[in-house]
Structure 1
């Protein structure tokens, strides 16, 4: 009885959090072949756009090492600036918080901090998006004395503001682990001026969504290159929600990532788009165009972790998966599929369960439990790397 009441309360709270933003836009379906470069198949007689896009995704999966390949950037630099919020909602309290941050920055009340900046090896059509941004949290030399230099790359959730997950980075610093808090494509300072939200990262433009994933994965790998140039030897990645998807695919294609923390995980990108509360506006666009759930699943193969599981399992890693019992964005069944697949492929993983939902993970008290799971896992995983040499 109490369990059913708790579930009802949690689902109501989760739904309230996913419906409070009023600036989600239903945009029409765009195939986006122009975003896929050489992976966009030629138009052929008797082949419609849906079939072309399915073929493009199958080609990307088959040649994923090429799709996620890159040349190391040559313009790495550390820039100092005042941190700003870059919110994605238009709630009055959030806009007031942003205005206060800008005022404090203008008067010098807020200290400047360091950001790693470089040109993304994957170019989009938006210049501001193509300059990668990662807030730099170097661990104190005394905290990492006597062991290899270790670093985490942290990727927050879809539509995260610029302060999301910063606390995790300072938590890692206490364990002697440095951190780069990476802004995903189309997020915070990388967001085109025409947008209120980070809509171009995941949208009804299928090709652009795949290209955003390609760019995110390559940006992660480029950050590893910079860290190596700074003398770092052990690397990990933490991703939440969409960031988890990007982190998984990066780890599948880069064996340097030996510690992986997936904060909410799913197998098939299209299934999440179709069933998730936070992507209802995208599903609406696909339904208006006559696409089915199976169609959407097929056209998002290239950005679905399930199709890279063998690559991911090919190199040893220490892995954490956190999922939520009452998740209405990444349904619990999808997270359980991840765990089953890890078992099937003999991945060394730890599973933790939160008694909340996707959005409520960021609320008290669940955010503290989540932070404990993530922080203790990363601390112990890096210690084990060091202990085995």
Structure 2
């Protein structure tokens, strides 16, 4: 009885949090072949125009083609314009609640009167280009740290770093606390702004809608850009002498981090703060993407079709590639999640087992959005922080 009451209360709380923002916009279905022009999108669009294929068949075939040869999609040329800029941190909120807008004004005031300190940001041009110049300028707040010491010898451990990828529609301060915490362990951090997020967000948007939307090609392009940006950050870290590198991704950031790890064996530590199977299933079943599902339903699409339309950006498509490189992996999921539905998270663990991937699993007694609330945020922080600390300590000792 108590468990049923708790579940009812948790689902109600989770629903309240996912419905409080009123600026989610339902946009019509767009195929977005132009965003994939250099990977067969132009050819597919021509076949649609000639009547040889329907848009659904053309985009489904394009996804299958990319998933069968992912390195052609996720490989890149290393940027040549890496630089550190000293800038005032800005909030870049994605909701219009009064308390959030007041917080943004306060940060602006502090910057104007000199109460806010400039902080270092890694900036470079993304190897993946989009129609939005602001989105193509990668932004990662830099949290450098002095390496810890090897136990018993007093020698410095290898230089270690984490790349942190927050959730969809995160503001620019989200997950900064993780970076500060990891610094205390002697681990440097890059808090990476995802495509179409905070300073990379086009001025026409209130939210980071273009990262995940009813425009299929643009959503796929955003994933490709995020994966390439993570790998580019690794290039810069290695140029700075970092030898042991990990990624922490939350929600959508977890999807991006997983695919980056599957494509790049240099990632030795993975912390997936929520994980799911097929990108399209999350879009179809998640509360936070209900407006996108509505667009697809109005266009006559089904869940199975949407799953195939996002095959190329689904972690499940790249399990074999991920399994090919031994690494330290943590997966966190929540019992009452209405965004990354629990059954999909459990399928990830089953797939890990089937591919003989070693991992640590932790379960939160809350939902997706309630993870950010007290006391669950502290439990989540403990799971992630203790795993990263322990794993990098072992790596640093050479064990």
Under a length normalisation based on structure 1, what TM-score does the superposition of the two structures give?
Answer: 0.98
The 5 Å alignment of 1:8-27 reads 8-27=8-27
Match in the other structure for 1:361: 371
The 5 Å alignment of 1:74-223 reads 74-141=80-147, 146-223=156-233
Q: Determine whether 1:35 maps to 2:35.
A: yes
By how many angstroms is 1:317 displaced? 0.7
> Within 2, Cα distance between the matches of 1:142 and 1:311?
32
Q: SS in structure 2 opposite 1:285?
A: helix
Q: SS in structure 1 opposite 2:80?
A: coil
Q: Assess if the C-alpha contact under 8 Å between 1:86 and 1:189 holds in 2.
A: yes
Q: SS in structure 2 opposite 1:231?
A: coil
> Within 2, Cα distance between the matches of 1:102 and 1:286?
39
Q: Determine whether 1:301 maps to 2:311.
A: yes
Q: Assess if the C-alpha contact under 8 Å between 1:236 and 1:257 holds in 2.
A: yes
> Within 1, Cα distance between the matches of 2:107 and 2:271?
31
The 5 Å alignment of 1:337-376 reads 337-376=347-386
CA deviations 1:307-364 (Å, max 9, x no partner) are 0000000001110000000000000000000000111111110000000000000000
By how many angstroms is 1:66 displaced? 1.1
> Within 1, Cα distance between the matches of 2:382 and 2:148?
23
Match in the other structure for 2:293: 283
Q: Determine whether 1:238 maps to 2:244.
A: no
> Within 1, Cα distance between the matches of 2:149 and 2:204?
43
CA deviations 1:144-174 (Å, max 9, x no partner) are 8511000000000000000000000011111
Q: How many residues align?
A: 389
> Within 1, Cα distance between the matches of 2:199 and 2:301?
33
By how many angstroms is 1:268 displaced? 0.3
> Within 1, Cα distance between the matches of 2:316 and 2:110?
45
CA deviations 1:78-105 (Å, max 9, x no partner) are 0001111000000000000001100111
Structure 1's consecutive aligned runs of 4 or more residues displaced over 6 angstroms after TM superposition are none
Q: Assess if the C-alpha contact under 8 Å between 1:143 and 1:175 holds in 2.
A: no
Root-mean-square deviation over aligned CA pairs = 1.1
Q: 2:342 aligns with which of 313, 317, 332?
A: 332
Q: Assess if the C-alpha contact under 8 Å between 2:30 and 2:214 holds in 1.
A: yes
> Within 1, Cα distance between the matches of 2:397 and 2:86?
36
> Within 2, Cα distance between the matches of 1:35 and 1:293?
23
Q: Assess if the C-alpha contact under 8 Å between 2:165 and 2:248 holds in 1.
A: yes
> Within 1, Cα distance between the matches of 2:144 and 2:130?
30
Report the CA distance shift for 1:143/1:17 in structure 2 as closer, same or farther (over 3 A): farther
Further displaced range: 140-149 or 237-246: 140-149
Report the CA distance shift for 1:174/1:73 in structure 2 as closer, same or farther (over 3 A): same
Q: Assess if the C-alpha contact under 8 Å between 1:156 and 1:241 holds in 2.
A: yes
Report the CA distance shift for 1:230/1:174 in structure 2 as closer, same or farther (over 3 A): same
Q: 2:391 aligns with which of 381, 385, 388?
A: 381
Q: Assess if the C-alpha contact under 8 Å between 2:147 and 2:157 holds in 1.
A: no
> Within 2, Cα distance between the matches of 1:199 and 1:380?
36
CA deviations 1:223-265 (Å, max 9, x no partner) are 0000001000000000000000000000000000010000000
> Within 2, Cα distance between the matches of 1:46 and 1:217?
32
CA deviations 1:3-31 (Å, max 9, x no partner) are 00000000000000000000000000000
> Within 2, Cα distance between the matches of 1:189 and 1:47?
39
Match in the other structure for 2:62: 56
Q: Determine whether 1:5 maps to 2:15.
A: no
> Within 2, Cα distance between the matches of 1:102 and 1:38?
41
Q: SS in structure 1 opposite 2:271?
A: strand
Which 5+ residue runs of structure 1 have no aligned equivalent?
none
> Within 1, Cα distance between the matches of 2:390 and 2:65?
39
Q: SS in structure 1 opposite 2:135?
A: helix
Q: Assess if the C-alpha contact under 8 Å between 2:147 and 2:158 holds in 1.
A: no
> Within 2, Cα distance between the matches of 1:304 and 1:71?
23
